[in-house]
Structure 1
């Protein structure tokens, strides 16, 4: 294990200070393939610092995983990282606020198993802090008491006492990929390398750091085995899920009478103002509606779980009185920022609206309709859909066109799909030379 510690304080505007590392092979492979670790990064007058790794993820595309920590940077503080074969961990004054797994090159992080060098600098201006202006205070100053690098000389292995994986079951779209998460007890156990196997690689294959790819329709069991023989499994079902509506009762036809609790839908707020209705639906018999004779606030939603991660679309036919304080079709809780499609303007006739590019990464998503309305405001919604959208491949290549390797050794060539979120990235196997 190595530890890098910097003691700093600073003050500036339109600037940002950094203590960071770059891979020593930067001049050969470039950024981000060399890897970058931002140990301390402070922007303008923020009362927080950023800790961020940058690397080349799937398809050689830049990936970053930043976390912030609230701190008064005008006072002296100790900013540090520890770095071993399993994790990089960020601290402020010895308080852990972020950890990043790199075990066995997990999630394309092989660059963090190679040498890095340290940089410290104070840039002025740039895309992130903005160009200097009348508010910029110069000179800008970053005080550094010391930067030290330590090596742990205690080589006694820390024994594993527990091991588990999550999720325990997984629905995966044909051609899609998802990583299985691992948990070790204790968290700093020395050898956290896992040997992954599939009971049916023709259905679901798994690579050496637990990334599953759906190869064909069917089921398989993925097993992770630790160096001391502990095992944990994940049951995988691979389906062709594209364009299949995941909502229950999206057309409100499941009920044979008017009700304030339509099958499959949950309500929040002024629930008496939301129900299904037979008044001029878009589909044959029923629609969903929200309206009130006094100001009201209500939401009608479905929370979908067990989704295959991927790129989703939400569609609905809607009408609206307009004039609401807020009226929206929304998607949230999917692993990204809430997405809202406003329907607060007058929409007198049935009109189809949709939200594209809902990138589900947590196997779950909440979708619905929210309204903060005045007396006699309304929204109607019908034939609501939420489905996995196929993303077509536009180009395919390998990460390297040429390679020189020693006799008797082997190398894996990575595949590069364009776009990088193409739905079906099934490949018979990464070529091994």
Structure 2
């Protein structure tokens, strides 16, 4: 793989991140496992950054893609597309949004871009509220609202962004408060912020922050925020790119943990719905989705082959209750990892829901991030046949665990045992 790595470095950007000191080329996968070009087998606990949501090489999806590719792959949105209408109908139904409209994109970045376009146009404001430690994509506007400096290469933006407290429960000025007091303090901070600015278009928030290290607020925070937002006519955009489709186990959508206020005005999605195929999208009430007064299309959004994959994958996920599996197996995995963490002074917290789990590492006896150890754990886990991710808003010191939702109990135990050895070997 060294030759491929050298070729990569010659023709691709320096900022295009690669995991591992000796980068990995994955050649094929099956179920929850993948193989590299040297024939090594790995248990995959990261799923291509949560994109392989169901399983690698899921027969139902590969069959749907193959059959559709044999008919037509692409025609653009300038023509009627039965598969796109079929998937839009299903997504509108499961969204919980009344009179929902769905627009398909090719990525979460593009989905969030579209949501920002809709919100700012509908509200006639270019001010946006975002959460600290957030990540929403790599386009110019998405970078402009990202609250994680490690993923925000420029301060230039077409938007005025104001950052709100609450996305990280265990750090910051309110960390020592109980859950109810934490929510109250964040709400009061939001009210104070709104008293110093012109009315924003929207609040965009991940129910669980993905790149930020799988952090989340107490249940009910966004419902409490919603009461304040509604009083000002401000829209709520839920970025469900990583939390959607049952990954958290307890709910189909992450926003439902904050659900007393009803569904968001806009929901964005991507990652897992295509089980590796490039699908993203936006769901919004008709009055918001239809507020644009100019023509628009999506050349590759909603293309027939990706829609076929999305339909097959969503059907499989619902018919096999993978949300329930994420709840059951994820719950066992979290408890197993917490037992491991109790014996490791460098593990600050094991957090998450379902099969979306973060393990935050700090230097023992302090709250200082330990990105060097996080990188070492990644290497040690790979050496034993386990692939995981990393992230976090404090120098990338959180391990990110997000296997395909069909993970078995035996595979969860195998992965936890490998991770336990990796943590011990790096103490």
- Give the TM-score normalised by structure 1: 0.23
Normalized per residue, the structure richer in helix is 2
Pick 1 or 2: higher relative contact order, CA cutoff 8 A, min separation 6. Answer: 2
**Structure number, greater radius of gyration:** 1
Normalized per residue, the structure richer in strand is 1
- Give the TM-score normalised by structure 2: 0.23
